[in-house]
């Protein structure tokens, strides 16, 4: 990978595993210093070790993105540690408890929304404030999903949260375009992560979901991470307010005959 982010300061939420961890390492390989946030300190420090092994420098900050005070402190610590903030990947999220709307609890709905949607909103709020304080310029990518573009039976709260992330992305992009802050979203299909392992733990479910990906497999974290790093680089300088789909053909086949 070329040093597309040389000298930049990057922030990754949900960087303790999966796509977030892979993106943190790729940010480092692209020349950025990386601030990793998450709720699990041990896994977060493991990510920082991988960042350093990749030749980068990093800092872990324990944070719950559903709490405004945590997010504000996270951005402050990034600036205290490295002087500024140039790039952010708002990746933190949960799948929630999947099941029909009529059986979903209010507690689980609120938790899913608080982390996936409110968390993205809080991150945008404090990241953009910092970037504006620096004089503008920067790039932010939000983690959405293909379920932010189509419905998903049994995953109403998750799908609604990701639809919301796409709406947030478009609105924030419009508000900040003239300040040089680009804001986009990435929309993966099922990817080989701990979250997918939990969701697809039943063999029959795994088989069905796999069949929905015409490419014949699930995504790999590195494939999503590569796209995020590109969107954060100057090579994507004319891209803002967009939702980049990486789905192995999933959406293209939604209306295909069975």
pLDDT at 248: 86
> What is the DSSP secondary structure assignment for residue 150, as one 8-state letter?
S
Is 258 among the domain residues?
no
In which order are the strands placed within the sheet that holds 243-246?
Answer: 58-62, 33-38, 9-13, 87-90, 138-143, 181-188, 243-246
In-domain check, residue 256: no
Residue 254 included in any domain: no
User: What's the CATH number where 112 sits?
Assistant: 3.40.50.720
In 105-155, which ranges are E strands? 138-143
pTM: 0.92
- At residue 257, the pLDDT reads 42
Taking 70 as the pLDDT cut, the residues of the chain under it are 1-3, 193-197, 200-202, 204-206, 208-212, 254-258
Phi and psi torsions of 244, nearest 5° = -90, 120
Residue numbers of the domain that contains 212: 9-244
DSSP annotation string for 62-85: E--TTSHHHHHHHHHHHHHHHS--
Which of 158, 181, 233, 243 is the catalytic position? 158
Whether the Cβ atoms of residue 25 and residue 48 lie closer than 8 Å to each other? no
Q: Look at residue 257 and tell me if it is in a domain.
A: no
Cα 113 from chain centroid?
A: 15
Residue 174 in any domain: the answer is yes
Say if 212 falls within a structural domain.
yes
Q: How far is CA 16 from CA 45, 46, 67, in A?
A: 8, 8, 18
Helix (H) / strand (E) element for 149: namely none
Residue 126 among the catalytic residues: no
Backbone angles phi, psi at 231, to 5 degrees: -65, -25
CA distances from 138 to 6, 36, 56, 89 (A): 13, 18, 20, 11
Residue 95 lies in a domain: yes
What is the structure's pLDDT at 258? Answer: 40
Token pair for 143 = 């983690």
Number of domains in the chain: 1
Residue 58 falls within a domain, yes or no? yes
């Amino acid at each position: 990978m070329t040093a597309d982010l040389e000298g930049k300061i990057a922030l990754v939420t949900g960087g303790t595993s999966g796509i977030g961890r892979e993106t943190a390492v790729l940010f480092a390989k692209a020349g950025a210093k990386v601030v990793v946030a998450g709720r699990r300190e041990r896994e977060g420090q493991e990510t920082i070790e991988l960042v350093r092994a990749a030749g980068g420098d990093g800092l872990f900050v324990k944070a719950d993105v559903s709490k405004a005070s945590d997010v504000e402190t996270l951005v402050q610590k990034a600036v205290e540690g490295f002087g500024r903030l140039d790039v952010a990947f708002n990746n933190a999220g949960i799948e929630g408890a999947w099941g029909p709307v009529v059986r979903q609890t209010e507690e689980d709905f609120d938790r899913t929304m608080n982390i996936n949607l409110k968390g993205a909103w809080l991150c945008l709020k404090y990241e953009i404030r910092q970037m504006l304080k620096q004089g503008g310029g920067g790039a932010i990518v939000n983690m959405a999903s293909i379920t932010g573009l189509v419905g998903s039976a049994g995953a109403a709260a998750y799908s609604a949260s990701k639809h919301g992330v796409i709406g947030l992305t478009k609105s924030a992009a419009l508000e900040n375009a003239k300040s040089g802050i680009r804001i986009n979203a990435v929309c993966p299909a099922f990817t080989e992560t701990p979250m997918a392992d939990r969701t697809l733990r039943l063999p029959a479910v795994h088989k069905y979901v796999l069949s929905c990906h015409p490419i014949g497999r699930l995504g790999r974290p590195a494939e999503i991470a590569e796209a995020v790093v590109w969107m954060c680089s100057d090579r994507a300088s004319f891209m803002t307010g967009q939702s980049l789909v990486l789905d192995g053909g999933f959406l293209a086949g939604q209306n295909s005959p069975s």
